[in-house]
Structure 1
Amino acid sequence: MAEKIKVLIVDDSALIRQMLKEIFSTIDEVEVVGTAADPYIARDKIKRLNPDVLTLDVEMPRMNGLQFLGNLMRLRPMPVVMVSTLTEAGAPETLEALELGAVDFIAKPKAQDQAEFQQFAASLKEKILMAAKARVRAYSGEKKAAPQPVSKIPYHKWVCIGSSTGGTEAIREVLSGVPVNCPPIVITQHIPGVFSSSFAMRLNRALPMEVVEAEEGMEVRPGRVIIARGDYHLRFRKEGTRVVCQLDDGERVNRHKPSVEVMFDSLQQLVPANKLVSVMLTGMGRDGAEAMKRLKDGGAASFAQDEASSVVWGMPKAAYDLGAVDELISLPNMAASILKAAQQNG
């Protein structure tokens, strides 16, 4: 029998600690080895109990959860899932947690609603099992993007990128290698609606090109990176000679909204596939893999992040296994590969 995943729960609320313990008690693969009401207690229990995965709240007494996470990921990197109140105001803290090395995050259930609680429990189980297999790296301090020289070679192709778990930081790294006069870039990252605006603004401040959250009627054009709005599919339509964004509040596809599959398929209907570079970055599941195969079959250049550099090699593997990928690329080399492909005419 496989060894159980040892989980340490860190939260200042006794109610939340008890709730998480009860959920984990129903998961055969998980054993709660301890709980901690603050980071100082957690630090001692990590040394003593050697957990495989940590659940961590942001707001805690004696030491902020982010400060603790930063110390932890420098000194003893391990998979961490943030369990906190997800609000627009709290989005920067959660995005910072991902930057510091947290694998994923989940919102505490807001109401005493049985259906919401069941959904939370199922999602928590999925994230903990995934986190136990995730690749985590030591946090080495804030990454400053070196400005990329303006490209003198024109771009002939658009770039479309899909990602999920681990994707916020993977996207940042890829875009850090892209010049201000970049080709049109559209991105679907699985992210809640309260986060996508903050995520786009964070990238826009850090990078030379324009990075924006998708809006209805927004033009896809060179020098602009468009991030799908959370809780809406990103589709496209023609307005004269321009291609513009169309926000779709329809049903989830592959359990996601926004869905990578929806974005890839919508773009292919308006832009010849041989004028596209499709990219699959780190993420759990297989959203977008089949649409990526359709793009490749139509003539798109297709790249996926390799296993060694992915936090979770789910979506890239699904695309690769389908034959939807021309080449597996490590994250540090992804930007150069994308730009070279985008410069090829035809």
Structure 2
Amino acid sequence: MKTLYVLPGRLAVSKDPVELTTILGSCVSVVLYDPLAKCAGLNHYLLTKLPQGEVASGRYGECAIPMLIQELERLGASRRNLKAKVYGGGAVLTDVQIGIGVGKKNIDFAFETLANLGIPVVEQNVGGELSRKITINVSDFNVIHRFINQDENSQVDISGRIKLEPIRKVKVGIVDDSATVRSLFQNVFSKHGLDVVGVAADPYQAREMLVKHKPDVITLDIEMPKMNGVVFLEKLMKHMPLPVVMVSSLGSQGEAALRALELGAIEFIHKPSQYDPAVIKQLGETLVEKVKAAASQKVLANRSQKKSDTKVEYAVSGLGIQGLKLIAVGGNTGSQDGLKAFLQSLNSDTPPVIVANSTLSSFIEAYIQKIKKNVSVRLSVVKENTHLTSGNVYFAPADNHIVVETQSNNFYAKLRQLPPVNGQKPSSDVLMASIASCERGGALGVLMSGFGRDGVDGLAAMRASGNVTLVEDPDLCAFPYGPQQAINLGIVDYVKSAGDFANTVMEIRNKRVA
């Protein structure tokens, strides 16, 4: 029998013989079924009351329960025949840190609401201190309930996936021909709690350092004497592969940086052009975030080995946009290939797409040149006050945030010189938050592979203002941190592979809006 996973903040109904399943921490699921109409469904809400100013959402019980009833009535159910089962609300602090005591509030809200609606509760399993998995068989309305024990709790989160493990203290090696840069990076890393185990002035010294100290990750300069960094990287990946962050001056050629990513480098960063305290402070936040991202590759490889062979299939969201006006795409580490697949599948009449990607921004012109022959849309870099029009994809330039504003019912992109946000510049959060403030219901927010929280809060803002959200499937991401956190927050409408994004865009544009 087909099994569909219901995401946090979503709901699903069916008359077909399927199983609907979800994982609950402090969240609550209300299962409703009509034995005469032979249909059933469940929701998964995180909190009770819709905040003022937000658009109605299944994240909140006061919306999720009426929405579930409405969807069942569309399938022929009668409210007077509905019966309810209630699950979840454990005293569990999940990844989303919803808060202590929220589980009980969610439980009380479910029972109070159902009583007011005159819907009898025929089964319940609520409270406790463990997460639980529930599955309803729509054919017979039977619900299988299973607690997730402490060992499993440490492995699974409410996205239905293996929990992302925290990164332990990272051992770093520095390879750079500049003594000033080596000293600067060493101070930055040490200040932020990273363990610098070795430094090297050229690839030959680097080889000895790697063998002796075995760092988790290295920073590698592109321009060095004796052997340039890209050539050394190619040799390294053949004989002693490990996570690498490439480093370059602002004047370096983008082709070299792009080639480094193709060879297996995880991230890329510019050396500072000046060494005043403000610049160093910004560099520290960004550099440390990128090094941690690279070091997490080993953790993710371990996670990959634990994955089940069974692919998670999600219950389809009912949301769409009539007259989609704008698409915002965020992401950073590991997103370049998925982004290319997405852009190559877009139609020439696609609404304007604007991309904030800190990994690619440093060599975005080279990236554009590499992929432009195989796309139907026009590609360009945002300049100040760029008018956003259909059939175009706009990229944020290096070391600039971008925001979107409206003028005379048209969208314009503008550059902003602000500090990094979540260690990223450009930041997906900055882009998406600006769209949330100027467009309600006509935009699509997309979050791709990335390390850290950047893009998660921006996606939440877009969802709260009535826009639709899409994330790259965490099981298919090189770095699933951002997408998985967004799923856990209950702010995601669609979970797809990057190769399916373009089809999903068309589906969203064509779907009837409830």
What TM-score range do you get, normalising by the shorter chain? 0.7 to 0.9
Residue 167 in 1 paired to residue 314 in 2?
no
Which letter does structure 2 place at the counterpart of 1:132? A
Residue 260 (structure 1) aligns with = 428
* Residues 80 and 342 of structure 1, relative CA distance in 2, 3 Å threshold: farther
Deviation at 1:205?
4.7
Q: What residue ranges of structure 1 are gaps of 5+ in the alignment?
A: 138-154
Q: 2:396, 2:426 within 8 Å by CA — same for their partners in 1?
A: yes
Residue 352 (structure 2) aligns with = 184
Residue 218 (structure 2) aligns with = 54
Residue 85 (structure 1) aligns with = 249
Q: For residues 60-97 of structure 1, give each alpha carbon's deviation from its aligned partner in whole angstroms, at most 9, with x where no partner exists.
A: 2333211222343455542111122123x533332332
Q: For 1:5, which of 170, 175, 193 is the aligned residue?
A: 170
Q: Matches of 2:193 and 2:229 in 1, distance apart?
A: 28
Which stretch has the larger CA shift, 226-235 or 253-262? 253-262
* Residues 223 and 246 of structure 1, relative CA distance in 2, 3 Å threshold: closer
Deviation at 1:133?
0.8
Deviation at 1:203?
4.0
Deviation at 1:193?
7.1
Deviation at 1:247?
0.9
Which stretch has the larger CA shift, 73-82 or 51-60? 73-82
Which letter does structure 1 place at the counterpart of 2:172? V
Which stretch has the larger CA shift, 192-201 or 257-266? 192-201
How do 1:149-298 residues align onto structure 2 when only pairs under 5 Å count?
156-157=323-324, 158-190=326-358, 195-205=363-373, 207-230=375-398, 231-239=400-408, 243-249=410-416, 251-252=418-419, 254=421, 258-268=426-436, 271-273=439-441, 275-298=442-465
Structure 2 residue matching 1:60: 3-state secondary structure:
coil
Residue 127 (structure 1) aligns with = 290
Structure 1 residue matching 2:291: 3-state secondary structure:
helix
Q: Matches of 2:171 and 2:432 in 1, distance apart?
A: 38
* Residues 38 and 288 of structure 1, relative CA distance in 2, 3 Å threshold: closer
Residue 107 (structure 1) aligns with = 270
Q: 2:377, 2:391 within 8 Å by CA — same for their partners in 1?
A: yes
Q: 1:39, 1:63 within 8 Å by CA — same for their partners in 2?
A: yes
Aligned residue-pair number: 323
Q: Matches of 1:115 and 1:294 in 2, distance apart?
A: 29
Q: 1:4, 1:30 within 8 Å by CA — same for their partners in 2?
A: yes
Structure 1 residue matching 2:492: 3-state secondary structure:
coil
Structure 1 residue matching 2:457: 3-state secondary structure:
helix
Q: Give the structure with higher Rg (CA).
A: 2
Q: For 2:200, which of 31, 36, 52 is the aligned residue?
A: 36
Q: 2:282, 2:419 within 8 Å by CA — same for their partners in 1?
A: no
Residue 149 (structure 1) aligns with = none
Q: For residues 115-161 of structure 1, give each alpha carbon's deviation from its aligned partner in whole angstroms, at most 9, with x where no partner exists.
A: 43344344433332332113689xxxxxxxxxxxxxxxxx9534221
Q: What residue ranges of structure 2 are gaps of 5+ in the alignment?
A: 1-166, 302-321
